[in-house]
């Protein structure tokens, strides 16, 4: 057995939502007492890889060299964390000790080892596959359970590894593995939902507001008494949203892959719906921690973030939503560096008008004092409300409508979704040469460029600003909502009637 002494294996580390290439250098010194050292800013989970690698190599039938072993994870100034480096370290030791001969100069290896040599799944494989393609690596060796999420990446040779022994036999040409086939992404067309628009009795104006919000990706606030159907309306929203495009599916899957929430390793093809409880902490909602992790607003990226009982959330937690809602991204700064998490989601909020819930209700008298009502409503700040495009009062449904025995069902989610999808397609065509995907993402400059207004529309907006005391932000958000209404109707330009309807949804 010839001793090579030095081996270099390529792996990757996940930072934020992206992966960076890491060189795993393994040196075996012939002199000195036996030792095993990992350098390059490893965290506890990486440092503990020494014991997993030692046992995995022995239990796979290979010899663990009783020499001075030094593993360097380069670049040295980048903190390393997670179980990604177990498998590349083990392969590096086998090559450096002369037990394996293989050319891995154009391959990336990732995976966690169990003590018996089996390869366990790791989070964040999709970002690592995208990194391998970006940096022109031709091959990726990954855990078998993570294979499906990487198969949508074209132009990359993938090998699913079940154990260290199977990888050893493949690299030594004893029992070659078959590469995984490329599986192109396909949009789901036979989706089923727990809630459907046809199941909602009455609330025609609320359904219209949901359709507008879905078509343009707008934020929506539902206010009304208990039992009016606010939560049901919000939970029905995913059923009318258009399917994810391939690029959107990659963005969402990356987030869930890194968070360890990817179901069965599949690419996510439906828009996420996140409904955190009002006891959720600031970090849980926005993201962060000593090692920044995505929060609920990032997990809802390209989907829906539903905040039920909005005033029950702590005020300081809600105020942190202001910047992500405006910019569509969360900026988290730590001493080790800065991380940006995407947060382009629809914010759907629901609240009662007062503590008892019946302020302004026609059927039941409110039992709150005026000061109590005012204090309850002031829990939500004006700047946060100003960032919500559509404000809607949801009245209680009359019992006659609930108990009517009609066989005519209202419009189904499928029919509404067809109109919403057409409206989104019109937006994609309009913004094909820009970074925008929906009307809600338009900046002030984008509004001036893509949504020209007639003189009649401008006159109407001026009067509305004076009468309703609208802010500059509310002015531009009204235009974006009006553009969505025009897209739903297939109108080539914004008409005064579109502006008038959009103004009805301002507080």
Question: What DSSP line would sit under 70-104, residue for residue?
Answer: EEEEESTTS-B-SSTTHHHHHHHHHHHTTS-----
For residue 159, the model assigns a pLDDT of 97
Tokens describing residue 261: 């929430």
For residue 254, the model assigns a pLDDT of 94
pLDDT interval class at 399 (50, 70, 90): low
Per-residue pLDDT at 410 exceeds 90: no
Tokens describing residue 380: 């939500």
- Cα separation, 39 vs 379, whole angstroms: 50
**In a domain? residue 64:** yes
End position of a domain, from candidates 137, 171, 205: 171
Q: Are residues 111 and 204 in the same domain?
A: no
Q: What is the pLDDT of residues 195-251, one digit of tens each?
A: 888 888 878 899 999 999 999 999 999 999 998 889 999 999 999 999 898 999 999
Q: Are residues 94 and 164 in the same domain?
A: yes
pLDDT interval class at 333 (50, 70, 90): confident
The total number of structural domains in the chain stands at: 2
For residue 95, the model assigns a pLDDT of 95
**In a domain? residue 192:** no
pLDDT interval class at 335 (50, 70, 90): confident
- β-pair partners for 14: 19
Per-residue pLDDT at 406 exceeds 90: no
**In a domain? residue 231:** yes
Per-residue pLDDT at 453 exceeds 90: yes
For residue 309, the model assigns a pLDDT of 93
End position of a domain, from candidates 406, 423, 439: 406
- Cα separation, 298 vs 319, whole angstroms: 16
Residue 273 structural domain: 197-406
pTM of model > 0.85? yes
Per-residue pLDDT at 82 exceeds 90: no
Find the range with the poorest average confidence among 188-197, 244-253, 256-265. Answer: 188-197
Q: Are residues 10 and 104 in the same domain?
A: yes
- Please give the span between the terminal C-alpha atoms of the chain, in angstroms, as a whole number: 79
For residue 403, the model assigns a pLDDT of 66
**In a domain? residue 84:** yes
The values of phi and psi at residue 347, to 5°, are: -95, 115
Report the pLDDT averaged over residues 284-310. Answer: 93
Most distant pair of Cα atoms in the chain: their distance? 90
Q: Are residues 264 and 304 in the same domain?
A: yes
**In a domain? residue 436:** no
Q: 3-state class of 142 per DSSP?
A: strand
Q: What is the pLDDT of residues 414-433, one digit of tens each?
A: 999 999 999 999 999 999 98
Q: Are residues 73 and 212 in the same domain?
A: no
Report the pLDDT averaged over residues 90-114. Answer: 95
Buried b / exposed e over 329-349, threshold 16 CB at 10 Å, is ebebeeeeeebbbbbbbbbbb
Angle (CA) 314 317 321, round 5°: 135
The closest of 231, 306, 316, 314 to 279, measured between CA atoms, is: 314
Per-residue pLDDT at 336 exceeds 80: no
Q: Are residues 127 and 275 in the same domain?
A: no
Q: Are residues 121 and 84 in the same domain?
A: yes
End position of a domain, from candidates 360, 383, 406: 406
For residue 387, the model assigns a pLDDT of 93
Contact 11, 84 (CB under 8 A): yes
Contact 24, 71 (CB under 8 A): yes
**In a domain? residue 155:** yes
Contact 54, 36 (CB under 8 A): yes
**In a domain? residue 495:** no
Q: Are residues 137 and 206 in the same domain?
A: no
* Helices 496-503, 472-489: crossing angle, 10 deg rounding: 120
The values of phi and psi at residue 27, to 5°, are: -120, 130
CATH number at residue 13: 3.30.230.10
**In a domain? residue 308:** yes
pLDDT interval class at 13 (50, 70, 90): very high
Tokens describing residue 408: 């005519």
Which residue would you say has higher pLDDT here, 346 or 194? 346
CATH number at residue 392: 3.40.50.300
Q: Are residues 297 and 155 in the same domain?
A: no
- Cα separation, 217 vs 424, whole angstroms: 9
For residue 185, the model assigns a pLDDT of 85
Q: Are residues 67 and 207 in the same domain?
A: no
Q: Are residues 258 and 365 in the same domain?
A: yes
Per-residue pLDDT at 2 exceeds 60: no
Contacts for 475 with CB less than 8 Å, ≥ 6 apart: 461, 465
Q: Are residues 124 and 206 in the same domain?
A: no
Which residue would you say has higher pLDDT here, 454 or 337? 454
Tell me what percent of the residues of the chain surpass a pLDDT of 70.
Answer: 96
- Cα separation, 164 vs 141, whole angstroms: 11
């Amino acid at each position: 057995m010839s001793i090579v002494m030095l081996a270099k294996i390529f792996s990757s580390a996940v930072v934020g939502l992206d992966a960076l290439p890491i060189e795993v250098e393994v040196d075996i010194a012939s002199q000195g007492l036996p030792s095993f050292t990992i350098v390059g800013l490893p965290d506890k989970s990486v440092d503990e890889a020494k014991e997993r690698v030692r046992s995995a190599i022995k239990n796979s039938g290979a010899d663990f060299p009783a020499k001075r072993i030094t593993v360097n994870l380069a670049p040295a100034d980048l903190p390393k964390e997670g179980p990604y480096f177990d498998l590349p370290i083990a392969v590096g030791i086998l090559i450096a000790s002369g037990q394996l001969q293989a050319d891995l100069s154009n391959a990336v290896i990732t995976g966690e080892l169990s003590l018996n040599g089996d390869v366990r799944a790791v989070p964040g494989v999709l970002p690592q596959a995208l990194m391998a393609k970006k940096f022109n690596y031709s091959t990726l060796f990954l855990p078998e359970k993570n294979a499906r999420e990487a198969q949508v990446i074209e132009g990359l040779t993938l090998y699913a590894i079940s154990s260290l022994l199977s990888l050893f036999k493949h690299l030594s040409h004893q029992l070659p593995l078959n590469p995984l086939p490329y599986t192109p992404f396909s949009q789901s067309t036979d989706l089923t939902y727990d809630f459907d628009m046809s199941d909602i009795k009455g609330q025609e104006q609320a359904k219209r507001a949901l359709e507008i919000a879905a078509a343009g990706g707008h934020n929506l606030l539902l206010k009304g008494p208990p039992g009016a159907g606010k939560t049901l309306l919000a939970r029905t929203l995913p059923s009318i949203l258009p399917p994810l495009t391939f690029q959107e599916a990659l963005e969402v899957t990356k987030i869930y892959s890194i968070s360890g929430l990817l179901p069965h390793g599949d690419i996510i093809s439906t828009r996420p719906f996140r409904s955190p409880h009002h006891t959720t902490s600031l970090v849980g909602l926005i993201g962060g921690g000593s090692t920044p992790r995505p929060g609920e607003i990032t997990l809802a990226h390209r989907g829906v973030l539903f905040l039920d009982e909005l005033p029950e959330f702590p005020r300081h937690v809600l105020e942190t939503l202001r910047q992500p809602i405006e910019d569509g991204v969360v900026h988290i700064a730590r001493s080790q560096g800065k991380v940006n998490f995407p947060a382009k989601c629809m914010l759907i909020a629901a609240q009662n008008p007062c503590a008892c819930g019946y302020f302004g209700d026609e059927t039941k008298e409110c039992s709150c004092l005026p000061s109590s009502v005012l204090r309850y409503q002031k829990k939500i700040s004006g700047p946060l409300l100003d960032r919500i495009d559509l404000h809607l009062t949801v009245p209680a449904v009359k019992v006659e409508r609930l108990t009517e025995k009609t066989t005519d069902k209202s419009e189904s989610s499928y029919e509404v979704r067809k109109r919403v999808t057409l409206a989104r397609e019109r937006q994609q065509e309009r913004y094909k040469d820009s970074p925008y995907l929906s009307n809600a993402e338009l900046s002030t400059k984008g509004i001036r460029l893509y949504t020209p207004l007639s003189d009649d529309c401008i006159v109407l907006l001026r009067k509305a600003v004076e009468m309703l005391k609208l802010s500059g932000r509310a002015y531009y958000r009204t235009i974006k909502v009006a553009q969505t209404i025009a897209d739903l109707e297939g109108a080539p330009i914004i008409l005064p009637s579109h502006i008038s309807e959009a103004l009805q949804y301002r507080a």
